[in-house]
A = this chain, B = another copy of it.
Amino acid sequence: MKKEIHCPLHYAMNLIGTKWKPLILFHLLDGELRSGMLQKKIPGISNKMFTQTVRELEKDGLLSRKVYPVVPPKVEYKLSDRGRSLETILRSLDQWGLHDCEK
């Protein structure tokens, strides 16, 4: 991002206002998930985008990534407190979309 416009909404949308972020966060609301499981819940996402998006979310402190030193590799993703604080908003958006879809 080049321009740092100081607007809360803008700021918020930079963190979650992308194609996949809200979906990933949403699916983690019910608890932590293994990488493969989580990815499977997001139909249409490419391997690359999944990794990339999840890394950004981690960098922004919205989720945490736990790596188990085993083989085959095992990685679990889990919402951080900060990510959890979005729960209401995410569920509202989901509800809004749901209500609005059924037209």
CB-CB under 8 A for A98 and B22, given A17-B13, A44-B3: no
A interface secondary structure, majority: helix
- Total A residues in contact with B, Cβ cutoff 8 Å: 34
Q: What's the nearest-Cβ distance from chain B to residue A50, in Å?
A: 15
Distance in angstroms between the alpha carbons of A100 and B11 in the assembled complex: 9
Q: State the copy count for this chain.
A: 2
- Asked whether, in the complex, the Cβ of B93 is within 8 Å of the Cβ of A89, the reply is yes
Does A97 count as interface, using CB distance less than 8 angstroms? Answer: yes
User: Which residues of A does B touch, CB under 8 Å?
Assistant: 3, 5-13, 15, 17-19, 22-23, 26, 43-44, 82, 85-86, 88-90, 92-98, 100-101
